[in-house]
Structure 1
């Protein structure tokens, strides 16, 4: 069991590193990233929405009969959170655009936290199961890091604040989720995992459909549709690799 713990922990740290590399890459080439940010937005929308519909939602429905209700609940909770942030943070704060970054950051952060649960569960079953799950999960970490940083930056956060919040939400949340869930691994049955997955899927669909795609429609780029298609293609490849 000790070996399983360290294997799961190393895998979750690897996922965090891949996310961190994405954040570092977009920050290192910031001028280029800002110039083409709309394409990253479209790409991320394709990845998040497609992965949710093609894998996370079907898997959650398979694991729990209550998943559809929690899927709706995750979507509605993100909507309420968005309204709260808009009313009490953005409108009363120094920058009304903060919600552009905060809401996606919270949605992606929650999903990354649940990813940590999945590492705990799959590696406790067997090393092979954990590795197969990790391969598919790590593939989507890089674009998640990029889009979290970009949206925080577009929302008016300073470079340092955007970097810190992106690292915490998109990267560190995964090993944190693994460490939090490991002591309770025997109590996390399939039904509970299905509920957690459906909640995270509802959050991701909300982020993609109400924050990413509308931005792409407001700022149409020449290759925005191609970027969206590329995101969908990557999501298909992620699903097929599982």
Structure 2
């Protein structure tokens, strides 16, 4: 049991390191990143929406009959959070009017990364082999996830240093945190509960991709935006196949 704990912790930290590398890399090339933010938004939308529909939603539906309800709750919870930020932060402080562009995706990605930490605990408890399979699939999306989170925060008006730390806390640190929180209770986390959490995160990710990222990307009408979107879909398919 002790070996299982340290293996799960090590791999969840690896996921956080890969995400952090994405954040560090894009900060070193900030000007290039800002010029191509629209492409990253399209790419992110492709990954988030496709991964949700192809993997997270079917998996959660198989785990609990209540998954559709939690999918709806996740979607509208993030919508209400968006409305709250717009009304009480952006409108009251004109200098922060674009903060929602970065905060909403960070919140959705952060919650999903926390659930990823739960999955590490559960997968390695089942078997070491199952855990490594889960690790292969999840680490694939960590690097671009760090890039996307950082760029959207900068796009929303965050200073570069602040954007780096917020991106790290939301997209990277939440994965080992989720593993540490869930591991002591792993034997008590029943399948329907995990299914509900997965469905909740899927609703949040679909909201981020479909109603937050894509509309803003379409406003700018970049020439190769459809190519970036297709690339995100392709990456999601690769992740799903690697987990199969």
Under a length normalisation based on structure 1, what TM-score does the superposition of the two structures give? 0.99
Q: How does 1:133-212 map to 2 (within 5 A)?
A: 133-212=134-213
Rounded Cα–Cα distance in structure 1 between residues aligned with 2:100 and 2:218? 18
Rounded Cα–Cα distance in structure 2 between residues aligned with 1:214 and 1:20? 27
Rounded Cα–Cα distance in structure 1 between residues aligned with 2:67 and 2:11? 27
Secondary structure, aligned partner of 1:187: coil
* Deviation of the 1:215 alpha carbon: 1.3
* Equivalent residue number for residue 59 of structure 1: 59
Secondary structure, aligned partner of 1:186: coil
1:16-38 CA distance string (max 9 Å, x none): 01100111111111111111111
* Deviation of the 1:221 alpha carbon: 1.0
Rounded Cα–Cα distance in structure 1 between residues aligned with 2:79 and 2:187? 33
Secondary structure, aligned partner of 1:209: helix
* Equivalent residue number for residue 72 of structure 1: 72
Secondary structure, aligned partner of 2:96: coil
Rounded Cα–Cα distance in structure 2 between residues aligned with 1:15 and 1:40? 20
Rounded Cα–Cα distance in structure 1 between residues aligned with 2:158 and 2:21? 20
Rounded Cα–Cα distance in structure 1 between residues aligned with 2:89 and 2:177? 26
* Deviation of the 1:114 alpha carbon: 0.5
* Deviation of the 1:119 alpha carbon: 0.3
* Equivalent residue number for residue 28 of structure 2: 28
* Deviation of the 1:202 alpha carbon: 0.4
Rounded Cα–Cα distance in structure 1 between residues aligned with 2:148 and 2:92? 26
Rounded Cα–Cα distance in structure 2 between residues aligned with 1:224 and 1:58? 28
* Equivalent residue number for residue 97 of structure 1: 98
1:194-232 CA distance string (max 9 Å, x none): 000000000000000111101110111111000100110
* Equivalent residue number for residue 83 of structure 1: 83
Rounded Cα–Cα distance in structure 1 between residues aligned with 2:210 and 2:203? 10
* Deviation of the 1:144 alpha carbon: 1.1
* Equivalent residue number for residue 214 of structure 1: 215
What is the root-mean-square deviation of aligned Cα atoms in Å? 0.7
* Equivalent residue number for residue 11 of structure 2: 11
Rounded Cα–Cα distance in structure 1 between residues aligned with 2:144 and 2:221? 20
92-101 vs 191-200, which deviates more? 92-101
